[in-house]
Amino acid sequence: MIFWEDEVAHFYHQIQSGTVRVYNINDEGREFTQGIFSDGNSFGEPPLFSQDTYAASAIAMTDAVIYKLNIEGFQRLLKEYPEVQHGFNVLFAKRLYDKACMAREIINSPESRILAFLKKTKHAATKEEGLFRIPYTRQEIANSTGLRVETVIRTLKRMVKENKVEVKGHKLFY
Amino acid sequence: MIFWEDEVAHFYHQIQSGTVRVYNINDEGREFTQGIFSDGNSFGEPPLFSQDTYAASAIAMTDAVIYKLNIEGFQRLLKEYPEVQHGFNVLFAKRLYDKACMAREIINSPESRILAFLKKTKHAATKEEGLFRIPYTRQEIANSTGLRVETVIRTLKRMVKENKVEVKGHKLFY
DNA sequence: CGAGTGATTGACTGCGTTCAACCGACGTGG
DNA sequence: CCACGTCGGTTGAACGCAGTCAATCACTCG
């Protein structure tokens, strides 16, 4: 665990190597994935600006090396380098865009929600034979879309039949 | 209409007076409200930073006076006033926090989703006799939570019975 | 080969949606 | 002053889709 929901933020985190999942868990043990971050990404920065507590928890999914910078150092950095400041504006703007795209899917079908997730995710995926290999499990797609594994599986199956995605040996391509 | 989903952003918008709804509409005509903004608020700024198109449309819900600053002027402003730049960082951080709080509710019950909306919304509401008067219609709560009006009404009714909210003459208090 | 993890399937259930009315408050115009 | 139109709120009945539960399959790795 890297930090917990509702905790006060003391550090800026940036991944050197490894993968980190930022997520919520409710009373019934059901999980929702807010985001997955890997090499080079930072995560959990908003509270460093807004004085909110963390809206979610963070956990390393793999062995990982993560740089931590305390909040004072982080604020000094922002002050001294306006271009870093601007960089966070751009980063946050992109995040808000992604969140808005996912949020609006709440009123759409499982297929539409999965497609929105694949679309958002594909630029992070590696390309193989003109298609993007989706590096996530069905469970992870379910956690990210708010659906159930079974629903994801059944929906993907229909989508394969309709040539909207491809599956080769359980591996998903888009 | 102030701007449309998928359009390129040319202006920074700030409300002098009036109320603006930023929303999506799907093929079946169902609407999802991304946010409601009023006096003093700005809206639709992320694409000015991230070069994305608008993720949603904006419409004035009331007569309104809105300042518009073209993107070149906006960028000059940011460059010349680092504290404005920082102001947007804080604003975006708060927005991300709110979006994360709403997003995680996707795995929760209607009651929980409505409560999350009320909680987020209450600091914008006016206080009356120790309670916050929620200035939104049931339809607007439905649009903001991804539920249906009927579900909102029935859930609120149960919540009244359990003393989680109050209703006086159709008006909702929290 | 066996254990473990992720994927898959089928049967059943229930909750939120859908549909179709009706209610109630308010404002306007004759 | 009342009739009427409008808009938001409310209710009941029926439906259907995603969720739930339980079992099995498939692949990987030690």
For the stretch A3-12, pLDDT in tens is 999 999 999 9
Helix, coil or strand: residue A116: helix
- Closest to A48 measured CA to CA, from A10, A6, A77: A10
Residue with tokens 């594994």: A149
Percent of chain A with pLDDT over 90: 91
Q: pLDDT digits over A66-86, tens only?
A: 999 999 999 999 999 999 999
Query: pLDDT category, A122, cuts 50, 70, 90?
Result: confident
Which of B97, B93, B40, B11 lies closest to A89, judged by CA?
Answer: B93
CA dihedral A127, A128, A130, A135 (to 10 degrees): -50
Q: For residue B122, what pLDDT is reported?
A: 85
Calpha distance B96→A132 (Å, rounded): 28
Question: Could you say which of A85, A101, A103 has the minimum Cβ distance to residue B85?
Answer: A85
Could you report the per-residue pLDDT of B9-65, keeping only the tens digit for each? 999 999 999 999 999 999 999 999 999 999 999 999 999 999 999 999 999 999 999
pLDDT of residue B131: 85
Is the predicted pLDDT of residue B125 greater than 80, yes or no? no
> Please, are residues A31 and A143 in contact by the beta-carbon 8 Å criterion?
yes
Contact between chains at B46 and A78 (C-beta distance less than 8 A): no
Neighbours of A58 (CB within 10 A): 22
Place of tokens 């694409």: B47
- pTM of the predicted protein model: 0.94
- The better pLDDT of the pair B24, A125 is held by B24
| Residue B69 pLDDT grade (very low, low, confident, very high; cuts 50, 70, 90) | very high
Which chain A residue lies closest to B112 (C-alpha atoms)?
A: A26
Q: Residue A22: which residues within 8 A CB-CB, separation 6 or more?
A: A33, A34, A35, A36, A37, A43, A44, A56, A57, A58
Asked whether residue B126 carries a pLDDT value surpassing 80, the answer given is no
Strands A11-17 and A65-70, by their bridges, are antiparallel
Bases of chain D within 7 A of a CB of the protein: 8-13, 17-22, 26-28
pLDDT tens column, A43-58: 999 999 999 999 999 9
CA distance B32 to chain A (A): 6
Which residue in A26, A85, A99 is closest to B107 by CB distance?
A: A26
Half-sphere exposure of A109 (CA within 13 A, CB side): 10
Contact in structure between A31 and A24 (CB atoms under 8 Å): yes
pLDDT tens for B102-120 read 999 999 999 999 999 999 9
